[in-house]
Structure 1
Amino acid sequence: MAGSVFAAGKLAALLSLTAAALALPEGPTNFERSDDAILSVCKNISSAISSESDVYYPLSFQYSADIAHWAASSSANAACSVEPGTTEDVGKILQILGSTKTPFAVKGGGHSSNPGFSSTTGVQIAMTRFSQINYDSSSQTVALGPGLIWDDVYAALEPHNVNVVGGRVTGVGVAGFTLGGGYSWKTSQYGLTIDTVQAFELVLPNGTVTTVTADNEDLFFGLKGGFNNFGIVTQFILKTFPQTQVWGGIITITGDQLDKVTAAVAKFSAEVTDPKAAVLPTYNFVLGQTGVSLIMFYDAPTPPSGIFDDFLAIPSFTKDISTRSFSSLVQSSPANATAGSRGLFHSVSVLSYTTSLLNVIVNESMYWGKNLALDSASFISYDVEPFLPSLFSHGAASAYPPDRSRGLLPLNLYFAWGSSLADDTLHQAVIQSADRIRAAAVAEGQDVADAVIYGNYALYDASLTSIYGSNVDRLKSIKATYDPANVMGLTGGFRF
């Protein structure tokens, strides 16, 4: 039975990808402008930019790639797409968009699950041409373009035996991940990705280019977790760290072993203090059955005995565990299997993953997996992320998290489905599920009733306070200083 479930799951993923490729993308329209007016702006941009940049229109291959997103529900049919190739051209584009009050969106890797955040029916800016990876061994830093995905970065740094604090699974973009915060396999060692940023190259809304470091206290603070509220980042300079081979990979486990998985996860969360060790267990409901995808990671060729023994003792359906390169481990996860589906993320922050709380999460996956089946739900997933409680101690003040005095552990809810007719139903379901899990954590004594959530997992209608807490007023003030004309308000996302 398990074999047929997993085989059918692969077939379903292929069918969803095919359907997504044939379907026209959908998305919200937040601004009212005539098609002719926006097309006129597209032509103005085309005339103003250099030969290093280009404007594309529907039916061209480049346009289709520029508007495409990992989640089909995050894509929209833009009037045109623009691929800037220089910072000066980014500045010209922003000046034209701002002066004409034209809606736009900025896309890095395209992994946002929120409709309208990096997509638009106006002008789509795709940062594809900013794909630089320049490693500096003398400063132990690397300069990265916002058009990259982390897979590219890891592969380029591998010959140098160094690495960065970046994404954990394949296909995730550098830009949105970093600007939102960035939880990594190395977070228990070094903090969030924003804690390792040395500088941002930023095109301000007025078109000027600047380098933002810790010397610019307000703007540096805002960019670390504040997304694209302050302009368009054209380069990130990150600190690098020595990298050996690592140990780990993915195992899949069928539903009859859930109690053993839960016990092992709770024990790991409570007892393992080695910052090089990490796990990412995901409770899934797919094609009528529950199961677990478990990624294990140790930041060395061989882990100390005992850390992962409980997980390895559980009978598994598949197992791909070895000493390998960091890139190989990241690509071992089939994170792109649901690409092309409609989808939403949502989140709950907790202080610990206890057995009782994990049982609530398991029950939620079963409940919604069964009850949403007739609403075209194809994949119901709860990603448990047990970092060390000291995870926020590695960095200085930043937009996110607003409070570094205690470590919040994120839970990522991911619901995927096929039909746009079910959008509202799935939206309400993921909210209800998060609320029930948060209530369960509070009921067992965790002080998380008002805990902030991670912006990259937050649902599109989450309040600013739910992500940035007491930082909201300061962020609004910084935004007013650097974008008084509210140019960045013409694009989507969590706006200050």
Structure 2
Amino acid sequence: MPISDVSLTRRQFLAKSARLAAGAGLGLSALGLTSCGGGSSSNSSSNNSAWRELAHRISGPVLRPGDHGFRATALPNNLRYASILPQGIAKCASATDVAQAILWSQQNDIALITRSGGHSYAGFSTTHGLMIDMTLINHAQFAPSSGIVTIGGGIRNVDLYSALQAADATITHGRCIGVGGAGFLLGGGIGFNMRRYGLGCDQVLSSELVTADGQILTLSATENPDLFWACRGGGGGNFGINTSFSLQTMPADNLITVFEIMWSGQSDAIYAALVDALQDAPPTIGNRVAASAVTPAQLAEGQDVIITLLGQLAGTPDELADILAPVYQVAAPLSADIQQLAYWDAQLTFLDEPGPPDHYQERSSFFAAPPSSEAIEAAFSFLRAWPGTSESASFVLFQTGAQVNAVAPAATAFVHRDSDWLMTMALNWGAHDSRSTVQRNLEWQAGFYEAMRNFSSGAYVNFPDPSLTTWQQDYYGANLSRLGSIKAQVDPLNVFHFPQSIPPASTTERRSNLRETLFASARRALARAA
């Protein structure tokens, strides 16, 4: 059904759920619409009854506090948000389960969020309400004749890697094995293949989406094209819950060259030489250039910022040496691990990043050209002034450009199609670091970020930043208006919301009136159905 049709049926939104519930043998009281907001009732028996009703409506399990597996399932990757626990977790096993959980949350006035990998940097996959856990929807089917892989919305990288390795195929993918495929694709999807093949979202051919009114829609260039556009770079959790994706794969290389090369000393000059050398490198190379701070004590002992180049090249070690020759002329590496491996052996044994849970904040921005000497000087000045935690701080550049920029900014919701580098500024700390230490480091990071914003712009929605006040423009730029209009059509009540979700292009008053209209019509429809 096209979006225009979806928007025309908003007034039947909960009437449709009544028909869905009637088909499942549920009556008016079971739907929880005898009074709005039943889910937030202080009556614990009523609340428990509602959760039992959810457990009957979906095929997967519902976990409550105290249940086996609840805490482990609720734990986010960013431990800053580990204390935010849901009232319950619906482990959905199908799109129908997802639809029922979405409708139940509204009928019981309990806020919802979706989780696939739990790696939201800003904790946006945590909630005090209902967590819809997607990890049971983790299938992957490969069609050899077309090279298309269809994956479940709850698949994580570790399972995606296995499916693609078995098919001897690849896409643009990340390196952290626990990251969810859905969130990765919905926000764009950067990886070491992006300069060669484009972003992950550029390889998406279709998707299945469950909307706020429980409809299960197919999205493609010909079906619901506006939603298809929005779900390629618009960020996860904004328009509904994506339960599957079909992607065009490419053959995996028999051999690639992978490398991790480190320098210490002459750090500024090495960093500048690396950026210059890589700027003109072929799109067959994917890489990250990291500058890691050392503690004040280590700095006083003569240690300096550590430079690490990590990446892959669809080519030979000799070709890599040619690319890096200008850098080697500045200084010899402290260490260099360079190997030729089969593609998936390289990903799973050399380039993979476990990414265990930790306390952190990352901030991002895009460089439209190589960082200038002034930008590099500013960055190293801040790196050498790091206050220090028990863990780490780094300034990282991911090389973009090439095929990332071959797509027009308005062709997908991912607007940042004029960048050469994506900057991230990572700060990690331990559970035993004092509050004052953490605060001092966050203030240092804020000053560092503002200094670098003099040379960069925008931000990457898949690295959500809770400190970013201009996030709407920074994440979406010129595509924000269209995204807000699509949001208003498909989710006018803003069911899918979190602190940095795309707001519907309508006023709060209009949404409030629409909510009352929908619930009133729903009650009438339910009464008729009963």
What range is the shorter-chain TM-score in?
Answer: 0.7 to 0.9
Aligned to 1:358: 376
Cα pair 1:195 1:396 within 8 Å, conserved:
no
Q: Does 1:136 align with 2:154?
A: no
Aligned to 1:430: 445
Aligned to 2:55: 46
- Looking at structure 2, the residues matched to 78 and 152 of structure 1 have their Cα atoms a distance apart, in angstroms, of 26
Alignment deviations for residues 173-223 of structure 1 (CA, whole Å, 9 cap, x no partner)? 212111111112111122111111101111111111111001222111111
Q: CA offset at residue 458 of structure 1?
A: 3.5
| 1:256-267 map, 5 Å | 256-267=265-276
Q: Does 1:92 align with 2:106?
A: no
1:307 aligned to which of 316, 319, 323? 323
| 1:101-120 map, 5 Å | 101-115=109-123, 117-120=124-127
Aligned to 1:166: 173
Larger Rg: 1 or 2? Answer: 2
Cα pair 1:131 1:146 within 8 Å, conserved:
yes
Relative to structure 1, the CA distance from residue 48 to residue 353 in structure 2 (aligned partners, 3 Å threshold; closer, same or farther) is same
- Looking at structure 2, the residues matched to 99 and 386 of structure 1 have their Cα atoms a distance apart, in angstroms, of 46
Relative to structure 1, the CA distance from residue 57 to residue 417 in structure 2 (aligned partners, 3 Å threshold; closer, same or farther) is same
Relative to structure 1, the CA distance from residue 287 to residue 44 in structure 2 (aligned partners, 3 Å threshold; closer, same or farther) is farther
Q: CA offset at residue 252 of structure 1?
A: 5.2
Relative to structure 1, the CA distance from residue 465 to residue 145 in structure 2 (aligned partners, 3 Å threshold; closer, same or farther) is same
2:394 is paired with a residue whose SS is strand
Number of equivalenced pairs: 444
What is the alpha-carbon root mean square deviation over aligned residues? 2.7
Letter in 2 for 1:81: I
Cα pair 2:311 2:351 within 8 Å, conserved:
no
Q: Does 1:378 align with 2:385?
A: no
Cα pair 1:269 1:387 within 8 Å, conserved:
no
| 1:85-484 map, 5 Å | 85-115=93-123, 117-215=124-222, 216-226=224-234, 227-251=236-260, 253-272=262-281, 274-288=282-296, 289=298, 290-300=305-315, 304=319, 306-310=322-326, 315-331=332-348, 332-333=350-351, 335-336=353-354, 339-354=356-371, 356=373, 357-367=375-385, 369=386, 371=387, 373=388, 376=389, 378-388=391-401, 391-394=404-407, 397-398=410-411, 400-402=413-415, 404=417, 406-407=418-419, 409-418=421-430, 419=433, 421=435, 425-439=440-454, 441=455, 448=456, 451-462=457-468, 463-484=471-492
Further displaced range: 479-488 or 348-357 = 348-357
Q: In structure 2, list runs of 5 or more residues that go unmatched.
A: 1-38, 299-304, 504-530
Relative to structure 1, the CA distance from residue 205 to residue 312 in structure 2 (aligned partners, 3 Å threshold; closer, same or farther) is farther
Q: In structure 1, list runs of 5 or more residues that go unmatched.
A: 1-31, 442-447
2:127 is paired with a residue whose SS is coil
- Looking at structure 2, the residues matched to 378 and 495 of structure 1 have their Cα atoms a distance apart, in angstroms, of 34
Relative to structure 1, the CA distance from residue 458 to residue 56 in structure 2 (aligned partners, 3 Å threshold; closer, same or farther) is closer
2:226 is paired with a residue whose SS is helix
1:458 is paired with a residue whose SS is coil
Alignment deviations for residues 400-454 of structure 1 (CA, whole Å, 9 cap, x no partner)? 43364x3352101111113583565554443321110121x2xxxxxx4xx3221
Alignment deviations for residues 154-182 of structure 1 (CA, whole Å, 9 cap, x no partner)? 23212322111111444332121111111
1:263 is paired with a residue whose SS is helix
Q: CA offset at residue 354 of structure 1?
A: 3.6
Relative to structure 1, the CA distance from residue 219 to residue 387 in structure 2 (aligned partners, 3 Å threshold; closer, same or farther) is same
Letter in 1 for 2:114: V
- Looking at structure 1, the residues matched to 288 and 405 of structure 2 have their Cα atoms a distance apart, in angstroms, of 19
Relative to structure 1, the CA distance from residue 315 to residue 94 in structure 2 (aligned partners, 3 Å threshold; closer, same or farther) is same
- Looking at structure 2, the residues matched to 257 and 336 of structure 1 have their Cα atoms a distance apart, in angstroms, of 30
1:128 is paired with a residue whose SS is coil
- Looking at structure 2, the residues matched to 270 and 279 of structure 1 have their Cα atoms a distance apart, in angstroms, of 11
Cα pair 1:399 1:475 within 8 Å, conserved:
no
Relative to structure 1, the CA distance from residue 120 to residue 363 in structure 2 (aligned partners, 3 Å threshold; closer, same or farther) is same
Letter in 1 for 2:428: A
Further displaced range: 275-284 or 256-265 = 256-265
1:166 is paired with a residue whose SS is coil
- Looking at structure 2, the residues matched to 238 and 102 of structure 1 have their Cα atoms a distance apart, in angstroms, of 34
Q: CA offset at residue 311 of structure 1?
A: 5.6
User: Please, what TM-score do these two structures have when normalized by structure 2?
Assistant: 0.77
- Looking at structure 1, the residues matched to 188 and 163 of structure 2 have their Cα atoms a distance apart, in angstroms, of 22
- Looking at structure 1, the residues matched to 434 and 246 of structure 2 have their Cα atoms a distance apart, in angstroms, of 39
- Looking at structure 1, the residues matched to 129 and 86 of structure 2 have their Cα atoms a distance apart, in angstroms, of 5
- Looking at structure 1, the residues matched to 233 and 434 of structure 2 have their Cα atoms a distance apart, in angstroms, of 30
Cα pair 1:166 1:184 within 8 Å, conserved:
yes
2:138 is paired with a residue whose SS is coil
